[in-house]
Structure 1
């Protein structure tokens, strides 16, 4: 299976990948209102866990200088991820990504928003070490899209390989988590998020 080529999603060059998508049909009369709600959810990074359930990771938005943020994400912000189970010891148990792009697209048939993240250092620490189980080549692109009759929420993972730039214990953990992610465990969790974002009941 080949990765989908999606506008705004980085090209797949090496390592693992996934395309995780959820579609939901709606009446034309309510789809614009539903999309506005979806946009609020999409940009409420700190609330993502509430759409996924307790077994999923928790997300916390941080400013470029490492302060917690209670606002919509911006390019250059960071997201702290607390994955269930052992985390990066050097990053106090957390994984970190930087938001490297936020893009808006619109054509005659649809409109969409993408937010692309890349593994990064911990912005609250001076170390330059990548605090994530994937290497800095990996990306995760979060996307929402509105069509005339349905909405889509998606996560696209690209160029996923373990982060070996760490101490020995963290390398073992990174390899184990990364392999699990590439074998489909991450896709299961991302599917929880995409389903939850579109669950309006």
Structure 2
């Protein structure tokens, strides 16, 4: 199976990939209201775990200087991820990504927001390694879409390769977590997020 071609999502070249999606249908009377709720959830990173349940990774939003914030994310911000299982020694048990782009598309029949994240160092640290199990070539692309009578959350991983540019202990950890990601364990975590953001019950 080949990765989907999604506008704004990088072309897949090497390593693992995944296309993780969740979709719900609504009638025309409520679709815009539901999309507004989805937008609010999408832009409230600190609450993502609340929508996904206890089995989910924990997501926290930080600004470009490494300060925890509670606001709409913007390019240059960071997300600290606490995944179930052993964390990085480099980042005291966490993985970090930088928000490298946020884009918005709006047409007569559809509207979408896309947040592109890339593995990063711990923010505001001059020295150190990429604090993530994937290398800096990887991206996680999180998208919400309103199209016709449906809402969709899509998470698209591209160019996912183990991060070996780090300390010895983290090299071993990154290899095994990356291997798990390539066998679908990472996709299970993203599926929790996609389903959770769309669960309005």
Q: Specify the TM-score bucket, using the shorter chain as the normaliser.
A: over 0.9
The residue aligned with 2:129 is 129
Distance in 2 (CA, whole Å) between partners of 1:6 and 1:128 is 33
Compute the RMSD of aligned alpha carbons.
0.8
> Does structure 1 residue 190 correspond to structure 2 residue 199?
no
The residue aligned with 1:180 is 180
More moved, 10-19 vs 124-133 = 124-133
Distance in 1 (CA, whole Å) between partners of 2:27 and 2:135 is 42
TM-score of the aligned structures, taking structure 1 as reference length: 0.98
**Structure 1 portions without partners, runs of 5+:** none
Q: How many residues align?
A: 201
Q: Which consecutive segments of 4 or more residues in structure 1 shift more than 6 A? A: none
**1:15-63 C-alpha deviation (Å, 9 max, x unpaired):** 0000001110001100000000000000000000011111111011111
The residue aligned with 1:143 is 143
Alpha-carbon shift at residue 125 of structure 1 (Å): 2.9
Decide whether the 8 Å contact of 2:90 with 2:128 is kept in 1: no
Q: Secondary structure at the match of 2:33?
A: helix
More moved, 124-133 vs 85-94 = 124-133
Alpha-carbon shift at residue 8 of structure 1 (Å): 1.1
Distance in 2 (CA, whole Å) between partners of 1:55 and 1:124 is 30
**1:79-109 C-alpha deviation (Å, 9 max, x unpaired):** 0001111100121000000000000012232
**Structure 2 portions without partners, runs of 5+:** none
Decide whether the 8 Å contact of 1:67 with 1:124 is kept in 2: no
